[in-house]
Structure 1
Amino acid sequence: MRTGRAAVGAAVGALVLLCADARAVRLDAAAPTAPPPAVVAATTPTCPGQESPPGPPAVEETVAVAPLPWPAEPVGGPGLGGCGDLGPPGVPPVGAAAYVVADLDDGTVLAARAPHARHRPASTLKMLLALLAARALGPDDVVEGTADELRVDGSKAGIGPGGRYTVRQLMAGLLLNSGNDAAQVLARAMGGTEATVAAMCDVAAELGAHDTRAATPSGLDGPGMAMSAYDLALLFRDALREPLVAETIGLRAVPFPGYGDHPGFTLSTTERLLLRYPGALGSKSGFTDAARHTLVGFAEHGGRRLVVALMRGEQRPVAMWQQAAALLDWGFAQPPGPGIGRLVDP
């Protein structure tokens, strides 16, 4: 997914400030809901320089937005409060600026690097959108495409005017082919971009992902966009608890509708970790010029499932999926133990 247009930044600036003030719009405003858990901010961040994504800024970041509060206590336990490499000796070296490898089922974090450092998530943010859409929409709900989808920046699933798409098909377009057009259609079905992005912020806070601020539904850069490797692993785990997301993330290919005089076609995954790592069950990658490469995925060996999340990496000298594979190989070789922290439950 390449960098979006600068106009996005100005369009969502006020919305991001709404997220920052923890006044996110819920999809059903009439329904009584509990407020998200409060975050007590530290006077100064434990890891100076990690409270905001590093520069240079994206061209879309045209609105100055204050960093998210830095929790006084690290989410997931004190063992996750470090700023660099954390965990036992022998963890393979990887080039990503931040990572987390954890047990998907019991939440034990086995190793991490700068787990709460804030970075731009790029298209891995689509896991949060997928979680929200699975909660808010029925899998067989139908949404019609418009000409606006043809003008969406970055990667596309292939949605066009007059096409009719079920939420199940849109989820495939979102996760298999990282379709920014699918993200736009899902957002429209949930009340529009503003309501959807605000609800994404709300859900992240509810789940304990306090390093996360959405600025766009798709992960295209925008003012204040932020996520940590810890949050990426956490949100991926919680998204997999939604049956529609769990069913979709591991698909290799699905038939996808056409529109107008454009015939239907086969939509295929572009996720190399899923295609090449033995035991991989699903993954989502992302890229923008400012975010660099991001990746989250999970695999199973011997009845044990691990999740790995990497942020701000590069494809050379070692491809991102191979960095993830090395961490998974190491994790599966470790005996059960207390780890260095936990992925919190809501």
Structure 2
Amino acid sequence: MVSVCALLTAAPAALAEPNPSTACSYRSVPAPPVDTSERPPPGKAAPAPLPVPERPVGGTRLAECGDVLPDKAPALPKQLAAAAWLVADLDTGAVLAAHDPHGRHRPASTIKVLTALTALQELSPETSITATKDDTSRECTCVPLVTGGKYTVRQLVRAMLMKSGNDAAYALARTVGGHGGVEEGLRKMNALARSLGALDTRAATPNGLDAPGMSTSAYDMALIFRAAMRNAEFAEAVKTRQMVFPGQNGKPDVDVFNDNKLLANYAGALGGKTGFTDDAKHTYVGAASKNGRRLVTVVLFTPKQPVEAWQQGARLLDYGFAMKPDVKPVGQLVERAPGDDNAGTNRQAKPDGTADGIDPSAAPTAFGNVGGPLTAVAGVLGLMGLLLYLRKKKAKRARALAAR
């Protein structure tokens, strides 16, 4: 009984919030915002943080908060200032190295990778979209779109990924949402992210501007980018260096250039996406090919100094390419959400960005992280009950024999 009491006494302590000095600082939420962009509208509460899976997606080592490196790994590149980063094989999904891979941070414009993937799954590239005043009233960077102008999905996806057009992202999400508008578009984005296994990700805006509840992780962004690169339209868009965006309503055509500097400065670059907001700091996802291998890298929550985010990404690509192809990976980019046999389906999602139909193994137990201890307590109590029952049965039988 002493051991059972000890377990019962200790269990509630596991419900306490983790001590920031001993736990992963960004395990459940990003760093506090530095401005008012995430203040909920009057009368509305901020969404609760996404549940932290009891078992980390991609492997147990990916729960580590510091450097996650293979055995006998070479020294890391210098000038890595990002709070989280990851480098993985784009084809096999093997995670070669990482730092706080499931730490949650704001994606900034890298969320447009998810916006693009959702749009390309939901709409034909030739679908025509008429820009509304809401689309053209977005906080820029913008293409810019013209109210009443007609554009194809292909044109909007490319302008969004190349120039980071917030107006293009809004128009795409609105169209994906149909009668439900941008809110429904975001629901579909979050459902897709969760079906892929990106359980740290919640898109609160389609363009990456900060809003309550926005988050992703280095692991998730690599996962989403890998899925997007399997789409030929997306892969072509992120490697395109220049395009002529059509003028509308008497406006001249616009030359759109790709703002991803990796394309012009890294041999074998396949494309990527940059991002920045005051709260997210600088973010980056990109990929390159060398000697038959294709790698993807992600950099989150980094200042611009000592080097830019894309340059940190380039150093991580060099680091990954320097590893032997048969190096034992530290984790794996999964193909779908754990326990999900319906890969690629856009299932119903709840307003908080979570989706129905996900196997419980990918999410916390009913008791959060104390599920294990409470289950152990229940097991011990059950065993004690059985022993007491057997003891009573034995005593009853002895009394019956004595009465004969």
The answer to whether structure 1 residue 127 and structure 2 residue 117 are counterparts is no
Counting only pairs closer than 5 Å after superposition, residues 1-346 of structure 1 correspond to structure 2 as 47-63=24-40, 64-87=46-69, 88-93=73-78, 94-190=80-176, 191=178, 192-336=181-325, 337-346=327-336
Please report how far the alpha carbon of residue 297 of structure 1 lies from its aligned counterpart in structure 2 after TM superposition: 0.3
CA contact (8 A) 2:34 2:278 kept: no
CA contact (8 A) 2:112 2:161 kept: yes
CA distance in 2, matches of 1:220, 1:322: 23
CA distance in 2, matches of 1:48, 1:151: 36
CA contact (8 A) 1:52 1:226 kept: yes
CA contact (8 A) 2:175 2:185 kept: no
Please report how far the alpha carbon of residue 57 of structure 1 lies from its aligned counterpart in structure 2 after TM superposition: 4.8
Q: Deviations over 1:1-60 (max 9, x none)?
A: xxxxxxxxxxxxxxxxxxxxxxxxxxxxxxxxxxxxxxxxx9677735421000135422
Q: Deviations over 1:46-75 (max 9, x none)?
A: 735421000135422123222111111111
Please report how far the alpha carbon of residue 335 of structure 1 lies from its aligned counterpart in structure 2 after TM superposition: 0.2
Paired residue type of 1:59:
T
Cα distance change, pair 303–49 in 1 and its aligned pair in 2 (3 A): closer
Q: Which has the higher helix share?
A: 2
Please report how far the alpha carbon of residue 307 of structure 1 lies from its aligned counterpart in structure 2 after TM superposition: 0.1
CA distance in 2, matches of 1:313, 1:49: 14
Unaligned runs of 5+ in 1: 1-41
CA distance in 1, matches of 2:255, 2:82: 33
CA distance in 1, matches of 2:295, 2:216: 20
**When the two structures are superposed, what TM-score results if normalisation uses the length of structure 1?**
0.85
Greater relative contact order (Cα < 8 A, sep 6+): 1
Paired residue secondary structure (2:112): helix
Deviates more, 1:53-62 or 1:227-236: 53-62
Paired residue secondary structure (1:284): strand
Please report how far the alpha carbon of residue 151 of structure 1 lies from its aligned counterpart in structure 2 after TM superposition: 1.7
CA contact (8 A) 1:133 1:186 kept: yes
CA contact (8 A) 2:27 2:52 kept: no
CA distance in 2, matches of 1:322, 1:161: 37
CA distance in 2, matches of 1:136, 1:52: 30
Paired residue secondary structure (2:169): helix
Paired residue type of 1:328:
L
Paired residue type of 1:82:
E
Greater Rg by CA: 2
Q: Deviations over 1:55-107 (max 9, x none)?
A: 13542212322211111111100121101111034121310000000000001
Please report how far the alpha carbon of residue 315 of structure 1 lies from its aligned counterpart in structure 2 after TM superposition: 1.3
CA distance in 1, matches of 2:127, 2:275: 27
CA contact (8 A) 2:26 2:104 kept: no
Paired residue secondary structure (1:322): helix
CA contact (8 A) 1:104 1:306 kept: yes
Query: How many residue pairs get matched?
Result: 305
Unaligned runs of 5+ in 2: 1-13, 41-45, 337-404
Q: Deviations over 1:117-156 (max 9, x none)?
A: 0000000000001110010000101111233333210210
CA distance in 1, matches of 2:34, 2:28: 14
**Could you tell me which residue of structure 2 aligns to residue 11 of structure 1?**
none
Q: Deviations over 1:254-281 (max 9, x none)?
A: 1111111211122111111122111111
CA distance in 2, matches of 1:234, 1:278: 23
CA contact (8 A) 1:164 1:257 kept: no
Paired residue type of 1:236:
F
The sequence identity of aligned pairs, in percent, is: 49
Cα distance change, pair 108–324 in 1 and its aligned pair in 2 (3 A): same
CA contact (8 A) 1:155 1:178 kept: yes
Paired residue secondary structure (2:307): coil
Deviates more, 1:306-315 or 1:265-274: 265-274
Deviates more, 1:105-114 or 1:258-267: 258-267
Cα distance change, pair 57–67 in 1 and its aligned pair in 2 (3 A): farther
**When the two structures are superposed, what TM-score results if normalisation uses the length of structure 2?**
0.73
